[in-house]
């Protein structure tokens, strides 16, 4: 089934979206919010599934037209947002661009940081940034929403707790990151509010494109109306989403509604294009000593989408424009 949240209050109003993304049905009388559905998934999922089946058959009353601009991120806020870095090509490029090698332990020990989760952006909301000089970038990723995961869960155990899948724009402020990482505590200012595609889906919605806990489909990024990249999310993914969930749970439990991201989707085959500007800039730096593609400017637009094996958009579309933010005086 496909779930989304109408923009409403702090946590949205739960809707079920039809498989073809043509209609959506508010189900907040059954379950007010997606977080509440996740909190009681065993009880709620079968009920929501029954409504989803009726909606897909055109038999549900009260359905309204799908409209991404009325939707928030599936979880407008979450209790945890852990973002891994599973596509090692991206990591290797970052290092190569500064003449460093990737430590061999990165092959079995994923990078992961914790992002802010109290204020996600709606999928069609502007990206507000105070200064273009921050080095504004997008990052296309896939992510899992988990149920309750026990501490020390294996990857196989973690896989059982993947409830929903999403598409992410992990907005990054590249020029703030080097100074921040040099301080030793990881990302903070360099990772402002994240956006997610409007629709979260149960893994079965992907059919054969969900394999070994990976999403075997290209992630298409469109920058200012032109395709920027379509790397395959199932290719060159060193750690599956289940591996990343298990990594996150090594020393603590994860609780229902925890989001675990893949990191920037990146293929070794550069002809597939990229899911962030940093990567093409690294390739330019390796080739020419310096980048030529600029970071995003105010007015720039980024769209992201992924279609299934049937050509149908799975998660709906992220469609965001960068705008100048003026802080309170």
Q: Where does this chain bind a copy of itself (CB under 8 A)?
A: 10, 39, 77-80, 82, 85, 103, 106, 109, 111-119, 128-130, 134, 150-153, 157, 173, 176, 181, 183-190, 192-193, 248, 250-258, 325, 327-328
Query: Residue written as tokens 């992961």?
Result: 112
Cβ closest to a copy of itself, residue 142 vs residue 256 = 256
CB of 92 to a copy of itself, least distance (A): 14
Cβ closest to a copy of itself, residue 119 vs residue 212 = 119
Full 3-state SS string of 165-230: EEEEECCEEHHHHHHHHHHCCCCCCCCCCCEECCCEECHHHHHHHEECCEECCECEEEECCEEEEC
The bridge status of strand 127-129 relative to strand 318-324 is parallel
Cβ closest to a copy of itself, residue 84 vs residue 273 = 84
CB proximity list for 189: less than 8 A, separation 6 or greater: 173, 176, 180
CB of 240 to a copy of itself, least distance (A): 18
CB of 172 to a copy of itself, least distance (A): 10
Beta-bridged to residue 305, according to DSSP, are 220
CB of 152 to a copy of itself, least distance (A): 3
Cβ closest to a copy of itself, residue 26 vs residue 116 = 116
CB of 302 to a copy of itself, least distance (A): 18
Cβ closest to a copy of itself, residue 53 vs residue 118 = 118
Token readout for 9 is 């209050």
Instruction: Mark 173-193 as b/e (b = at least 16 C-beta within 10 Å).
Output: bbbbbeebeeeeeebbebbbb
């Amino acid at each position: 089934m496909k779930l989304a949240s109408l923009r409403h209050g702090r946590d949205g109003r739960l809707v079920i979206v039809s498989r073809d993304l043509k209609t959506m049905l508010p189900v907040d009388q059954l379950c007010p919010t997606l977080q509440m559905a996740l909190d009681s998934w065993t009880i709620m999922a079968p009920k929501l599934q029954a409504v989803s089946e009726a909606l897909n058959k055109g038999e549900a009353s009260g359905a309204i037209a799908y409209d991404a601009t009325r939707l928030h991120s599936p979880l407008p806020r979450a209790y945890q947002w852990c973002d891994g870095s599973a596509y090692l090509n991206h990591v290797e490029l970052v290092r190569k661009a500064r003449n460093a090698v990737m430590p061999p332990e990165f092959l079995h020990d994923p990078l992961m940081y914790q992002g802010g989760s109290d204020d996600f952006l709606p999928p069609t909301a502007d990206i507000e940034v105070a200064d273009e000089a921050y080095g504004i970038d997008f990052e296309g990723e896939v992510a899992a929403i988990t149920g309750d995961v026990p501490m020390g869960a294996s990857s196989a155990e973690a896989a059982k707790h993947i409830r929903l899948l999403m598409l992410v724009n992990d907005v990054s402020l590249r020029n703030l990151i080097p100074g921040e990482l040099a301080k030793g505590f990881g990302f903070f200012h360099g990772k402002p509010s994240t956006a997610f595609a409007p629709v979260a889906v149960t893994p079965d919605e992907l059919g054969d494109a969900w394999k070994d806990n990976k999403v075997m489909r290209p992630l298409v990024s469109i920058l200012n109306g032109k395709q920027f990249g379509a790397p395959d999310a199932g290719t060159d993914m060193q750690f599956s989403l289940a591996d990343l969930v298990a990594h996150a749970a090594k020393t603590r439990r994860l609780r229902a509604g925890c989001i675990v991201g893949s990191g920037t989707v990146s293929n070794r085959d550069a002809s597939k294009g990229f899911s962030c500007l940093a990567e093409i800039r690294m390739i330019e730096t390796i080739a020419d000593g310096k980048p030529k593609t600029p970071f995003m400017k105010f007015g720039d637009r980024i769209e992201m989408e992924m279609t299934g094996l049937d050509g149908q958009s799975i998660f709906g579309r992220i469609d965001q424009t960068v705008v100048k933010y003026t802080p309170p005086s």
